Amino acid sequence: MKDRRPWVIAIDGSSSSGKSSLARLLAARLGYLYIDTGAMYRAVSLYFLEQSISVHQDDMVQDALFHIDIDLRHIEGQLHTFLNDRDVSDDIRSMEVSSIVSEVAAISKVRRKLVEQQRLIGQDGGIVMDGRDIGTVVFPDADLKIFLHCELDQRVTRRYEELLAKGRDITRLEVEENLKHRDHIDSTRLDSPLTQADDAHLVDNTQLTMDQTIETCLALIAGLE
């Protein structure tokens, strides 16, 4: 059998569309590495919050980027996010981080640093990476691009239930406002806005279970063989 380079699979879509779960499960099925790029933007946001750096303080943002080291490590089957060697996997999921992360992700300097790191991580293939610009900017030559769509109401329900299960004190309305706000900023920012690549496969999972979504994507992957 001819050896081939393992694939790069790019999954993009809006907040809480189920990208991360899909990417994680697909990576497990393929024996590939799973990379959640949103976690990297969240880690930068957490650093800014902890250091009281505003997204408008250009010099401080620039300086901060020299002091930020982000590492994604797979520990016992789970992806953990490390910020300067501290496991921040839970902290980056807070509403405080969620409420500023889109503004942080709109800063070109931040994007440049993280995109460079993402390309290094994925350069040898064998990876499923999810985000907003993976198929358009990070890996425009990805072997397979999936653009995951899910209607807002369904995304709000999923995210709200997820946060409640974690014991977070939050209303459904707050979750909805946050998702709308992030959708708006993520898709209208100047640098690498969320958009479907021309050659991406659109998968609408509004009415699909996660198992059905995975089956749909596995069928697309089978088409690569």
How do strand 127-131 and strand 33-36 relate by DSSP bridges?
parallel
For residues 186 and 112, give the distance between their C-alpha atoms in angstroms, rounded to a whole number: 16
65: helix, strand or coil: helix
Q: Which residue has the tokens 């889109």?
A: 102
Sole window of 36-44, 60-68, 170-178, 201-209 interacting with ligand DC (rule: CB under 6 A) = 36-44
Shortest distance in whole angstroms from residue 114 CB to ligand DC:
7
Q: How far is CA 146 from the centre of its chain?
A: 13
H or E stretch covering 8: strand 8-13
Sole window of 54-62, 129-137, 153-161, 171-179 interacting with ligand DC (rule: CB under 6 A) = 129-137
Q: Does 24 interact with ligand DC (rule: CB under 6 A)?
A: no
Which of 194, 175, 178 is CA-nearest to residue 186? 194
Quick check: 137 and 115 in contact, CB under 8 A? yes
Angle at which helices 95-105 and 108-122 pack, to 10 degrees?
A: 90
Q: Which of 25, 101, 150, 200 binds ligand DC (CB under 6 A)?
A: 101
Q: Which of 53, 122, 133, 139 binds ligand DC (CB under 6 A)?
A: 133
- x-marked contacts with ligand DC along 41-70 as a string, rule CB under 6 A: xx----------------------------
- In the region spanning residues 185 to 204, those forming contacts with ligand DC, defined by CB under 6 A, are 186
Sole window of 71-79, 99-107, 144-152, 202-210 interacting with ligand DC (rule: CB under 6 A) = 99-107
Sole window of 60-68, 74-82, 127-135, 173-181 interacting with ligand DC (rule: CB under 6 A) = 127-135
Q: Running DSSP on this structure, what letter comes out for residue 91?
A: G
Residue with Cβ nearer ligand DC (132 or 217): 132
Residue with Cβ nearer ligand DC (73 or 180): 180
134: helix, strand or coil: helix
Q: How many residues does the chain have?
A: 225
- The site for ligand DC (CB under 6 A) is made up of 15, 37-38, 41-42, 101-102, 105, 131-133, 182, 186
